[in-house]
Amino acid sequence: MEAVSNKVYHDTVVIRLIQFSVIWALLAMLGGVWLAAELIWPGLDFGQYWLSFGRLRPLHTNGVIFGFGVSALMATAFYSVQRTSHVPLFLPRLAWFCCYAWQLVVLLGGLSLLAGYNTSKEYAELEWPFDIAIAIVWVCFGVVFFGTIAMRRIRPIYISNWFYGALIIVIAMLHIVNSLALPVSPTQSYSLFAGAQDAIVQWWYGHNAVGFLLTGGFLGMLYYFLPKHAGRPIWSYRLSVLAFWAFVYSYIWAGPHHLHYNSVPEWVQSLGMVMSVVLLAPSWATMVNGIMTVSTAWEKLRTDPALKFIVLSLAFYGLATFEGPMMSIRSVNVVSHFTDWTIGHVHSGALGWNAMITYGTFYFMAPRLVGGELYSSRLANLHFWLALAGTMLYIVAMWAAGVSQGLLWLSVDDIGELSFDFKDIMASMVPYYLLRLVAGLIFLAGTFLMAYNLYMTVRGRPARRAVPPAVAPAFGVSR
Amino acid sequence: MTNFIFFGDMLVMAFMAVLAVWILSRGKSKTLDEIARIPLEDEEHDG
């Protein structure tokens, strides 16, 4: 633990969270590559249950979202909320508790998935003891974050904190409601909801976990770190506030688009579709705001690998937030649903948006946190091109596979029978799956380069002592 | 049910329109510009 005065920002916990995040990225992406290989060579499970696709897949998604993603969000939220509030973290020991307790929950939860304990709810697979542990750590995260905001020395609450705040509040609400269950043993429980209601609640949770964690939380990251990188304020602060309210108000309704042509009422499906299309407006408002912010700093892209990652993540954010609303339209969804198109869409967001902006942010933060230089800009540049090549190859392969699957599955002959056998269609996917495996290996290789680069950057160096600046009188809050 | 969805959508539109007008009319540009600069001047180094 750091022994610092009350006025010094608490950055050692930020460094530790970045380290955990990178470790989870490596492990979870390695799991993803293994899964990609299993889809080509099923014998790679070696007859072991714990290596089967059904057990490794939730480990991959939980590792990426909760290990890599949430650790990165905690790190960047702790880093930015101190600076935008001009005070050190509220209850720093609780921040350290969040840091280590979260890693323990993800680690033990992952092992329970490998052992076969699974609620069967996507992105909420962990059984009830872990659900309770997650809720406790999340509330502590909220206490540290909102406590810091409450102690702030400047009156305005900067826009990034609104997004981080929405992340903390909405994810708590979603997680607690969707996890309501009747435990029957320490390793098994039954959901309080049944049938179509269970499906609606699950996808209200599932879609908004994507919305408020993988989108809202990372938008908080964008609104703080993009101006820092570019060295100029966000292009339109007014637009960012408008986009925030439109985002939180629209996203919460969009979940039922996961249940098209299902046993939920048709009007619920239509509502989900309409609100998904409405989401295009706030999403692109943010993208335009981001692009305009760097529009006068293009020259920095030549020399700053971190900024390259951030700008590219914006492009993928725009792509994924256009594709998502289009896929939610029922006549498009009839082709895309249950195909690899969905996998391509998810990874254009996860690799292109979430991972890229996180990598750019880590490259920015690591040298500043220890008061040094990035170990190798050349390695970071190489990482950038590997990440771009891996992401593009991945999503193009999955688009081709998914559209082929959808059209072949829908083909019928003159008497209305299916034209193609499901097994034959899946066998024809192998070339696309090989491309996906290569893409995953390229992306993973880049992540290993980053891990080495960041390790060499912070190795043996303590956190630099950063302090709040003098407060402008117009914004000052007397305490 | 179609009417229900239509009125729901109109309510959402109305809310967003009111919100947009409220945000655009509230706050001086100078103040918002200063708030936008918060991340650019948020730390100094102590040794």
Task: Indicate the pTM of the whole model.
Answer: 0.94
* Helix-then-strand count for chain A, H and E: 19, 3
C-alpha–C-alpha distance, residues A307 and A297, integer Å: 10
A461 has a chain B CB within 8 A of its CB:
no
pLDDT at A4: 43
* CB pair distance less than 8 Å for A237 and B32: yes
- pLDDT at residue A2, as a whole number: 42
From chain B residues 8-37, the ones with a CB under 8 A of any chain A CB are 8-9, 12, 15-16, 19-20, 23-24, 27, 31-37
User: What is the pLDDT tens value at each position of chain A, 479 positions in all?
Assistant: 444 456 899 999 999 999 999 999 999 999 999 999 999 999 999 999 999 999 999 999 999 999 999 999 999 999 999 999 999 999 999 999 999 999 999 999 999 999 999 999 999 999 999 999 999 999 999 999 999 999 999 999 999 999 999 999 999 999 999 999 999 999 999 999 999 999 999 999 999 998 999 999 999 999 999 999 888 999 999 999 989 988 988 888 899 999 999 889 888 899 899 989 999 999 999 999 999 999 888 888 888 899 999 999 999 999 999 999 999 999 999 999 999 999 999 999 999 999 999 999 999 999 999 999 999 999 999 999 999 999 999 999 999 999 999 999 999 999 999 999 999 999 999 999 999 999 999 999 999 999 999 999 999 888 888 998 887 666 766 55
C-alpha–C-alpha distance, residues A212 and A255, integer Å: 12
Complex ipTM: 0.83
pLDDT at position A389, please?
98
**Which among B5, B35, B44 has the least Cβ separation from residue A156?**
B35
What is the model's pLDDT at position A3? 41
CB contact under 8 A, B44 and A245: no
Chain A residue with the nearest C-alpha to that of B8: A271
Q: Which tokens go with B24?
A: 């655009």
Judge whether B3 is closer than 8 Å to chain A, CB to CB. Answer: no
Is the Cβ of A155 closer than 8 Å to some Cβ of chain B? Answer: no
- B1 interface with A at CB cutoff 8 Å: yes
Which of B35, B40, B44 faces A237 most closely, judged by CB atoms?
B35
Q: Strand B44-45 vs strand A466-467: parallel, antiparallel, or unpaired?
A: antiparallel
Q: Do A250 and B32 touch (CB under 8 A)?
A: no
Nearest residue of chain A to residue B33 (CA atoms): A237
* Helix pair angle (A159-178, A218-230), 10° resolution: 160
A119 contacts A126 by C-beta, under 8 angstroms: yes
Q: Is A228 on the interface with B (CB under 8 A)?
A: yes
Average of per-residue pLDDT across B10-33: 79
Under 8 Å between Cβ of A374 and A366: yes
Say whether residue A330 is in contact with chain B using an 8 A CB cutoff: no
Q: Is A227 within 8 Å of B41 when comparing Cβ atoms? A: no
Yes or no: say if A239 and A281 are a contact pair by the CB < 8 Å rule.
Answer: no
C-alpha to C-alpha distance for A265 and A247, rounded to whole angstroms: 25
Inspect the interface and report whether the beta carbons of B47 and A465 lie closer than 8 Å: yes
Task: State the best of B3, B9, B42, B44 to mutate against chain A, taking most chain A CBs within 10 Å.
Answer: B42
